[in-house]
Structure 1
């Protein structure tokens, strides 16, 4: 498929994991891609691997100057910007909720929620001009209680922000949607392979997700195949939200049930 022929996409946090997979998928389908990340060497290498239709830039989504520069680079290099994929984020607060400081809360929200807002604001003139769209990578944490309260609140904020942007700019042809992943096999888990495999047994589909699972969902929502979809959150989570109540990923899997032989 070449659903993005002639289109230009900006993908944040694209040096590895979900962001890199999204950038590769969009490029494979014809897009020119601007990849940004704090890891300049890594993101540049991923862009080189993709080819001449990609550039890698060091950019921090907590800096409006960096975000503006990334949007400007997309327009300067490729002439336009059609798709923004807000992938930057992370779990900053590691203390128990009652010990989290105001500074930690602000840092978490600034990276995950306000960072996505900065990217949208910077790209809006291009998105309006080209009837483009935004896909924000949130999390099942923004939908149900999986712990990491500060991170989860920021992810839930992304969902609320998306709904409101969709309502405000729909009449201008700009779409806003969310992909909410469950546990994904990214480099963050490299030092915890046993934990990751344990988590996989707790999902109804029997495995954790791969970055390519999220990239496929992003490509759909960003494409014209989803031209009448806006303001929605698409969970890509192996069925974890269908479990009996809220799944606690620190316990043994609750989905296994033995049935007597007929």
Structure 2
């Protein structure tokens, strides 16, 4: 039996990369998925590839009104929402002293405020159904230091996850965070980054970077009923980096 049979999911930041990997697997496992992104071209391509059990919506995750449209559209198309994956996020390689307030607030809005808006807007449907799973994609930098802005917001996602888990548990809703390390995406697999990542991988205990599908495996587990008693927890997929 498919692990997500009959379930309805929303996945953000999912036109490509890890998000697209999550959407593909969810559909394969029997879910009906509304996925969102600001990249409409890539999103519509993926919708065409996956067929009738998927729907792409262009979505600014920092906008509360956009969130309501996504939630209302999902319920109208597929029914009550069972799963939310807050996957959208950005990073900037800018130092503390060089980062502008505008840049900092942009990271906070996309990485942190969007998670709050997603949980707040989606939870009522789950509360009514008395069940649900929220998976917030943080980072290994939600556990250890990294870039300014990115680290701050990924720690915040970890904290929001725990707070929401405490408040929503009584309604049968589970909330967990996933903390990927270095993942093989187009961004790090092309151009000047290739050699740098190859060198960095020598310092990972498992001596390699992860494939997006390896993150998807954990997201799928948490979205499914197999993780029925897991909530308020961090699930780390970093090849041992934060264990050092």
TM-score bracket relative to the smaller structure = over 0.9
Kept in 2: contact 1:177–1:221 (CA 8 A): yes
Give, in whole Å, the separation in 1 of the partners of 2:95 and 2:66: 32
Kept in 1: contact 2:185–2:212 (CA 8 A): yes
Runs of 4+ in 1 over 4 A off after TM superposition: none
| Matching residue of 1:117 | 116
- Given the alignment of the two structures, is residue 233 of structure 1 paired with residue 234 of structure 2, yes or no? yes
| Matching residue of 1:88 | 88
Map 1:61-80 onto structure 2 (within 5 A): 61-80=61-80
1:173-193 Cα offsets, whole Å, 9 max, x none, are 111000000000112213322
Residue 61 of structure 1 deviates from its aligned partner by: 0.3
Using structure 1 for the length normalisation, give the TM-score.
Answer: 0.89
* Structure 1 unaligned regions, length at least 5: 244-262
Kept in 2: contact 1:177–1:231 (CA 8 A): yes
Give, in whole Å, the separation in 1 of the partners of 2:19 and 2:232: 21
* Higher-Rg member (1/2): 1
| Matching residue of 1:40 | 40
Give, in whole Å, the separation in 2 of the partners of 1:65 and 1:134: 20
| Matching residue of 1:207 | 208
Map 1:181-200 onto structure 2 (within 5 A): 181-189=180-188, 190-191=190-191, 192-200=193-201
| Matching residue of 1:25 | 25
Root mean square deviation of aligned Cα: 1.2
Structure 1 range deviating more: 199-208 or 228-237? 199-208
Give, in whole Å, the separation in 2 of the partners of 1:127 and 1:79: 11
Structure 1 range deviating more: 96-105 or 217-226? 96-105
Give, in whole Å, the separation in 1 of the partners of 2:206 and 2:28: 27
Q: Secondary structure at the match of 2:149?
A: helix
Residue 27 of structure 1 deviates from its aligned partner by: 1.0
Kept in 2: contact 1:166–1:176 (CA 8 A): yes
| Matching residue of 1:259 | none
Kept in 1: contact 2:11–2:35 (CA 8 A): yes
Kept in 1: contact 2:94–2:147 (CA 8 A): no
- Given the alignment of the two structures, is residue 169 of structure 1 paired with residue 168 of structure 2, yes or no? yes
Give, in whole Å, the separation in 2 of the partners of 1:116 and 1:182: 20
Number of equivalent positions: 241
Using structure 2 for the length normalisation, give the TM-score.
Answer: 0.95
Give, in whole Å, the separation in 2 of the partners of 1:95 and 1:138: 19
1:78-128 Cα offsets, whole Å, 9 max, x none, are 112110000001114x33112323222221111100011111111111121
Residue 49 of structure 1 deviates from its aligned partner by: 1.2
1:41-86 Cα offsets, whole Å, 9 max, x none, are 1011112212210011110101111111111111111112110000
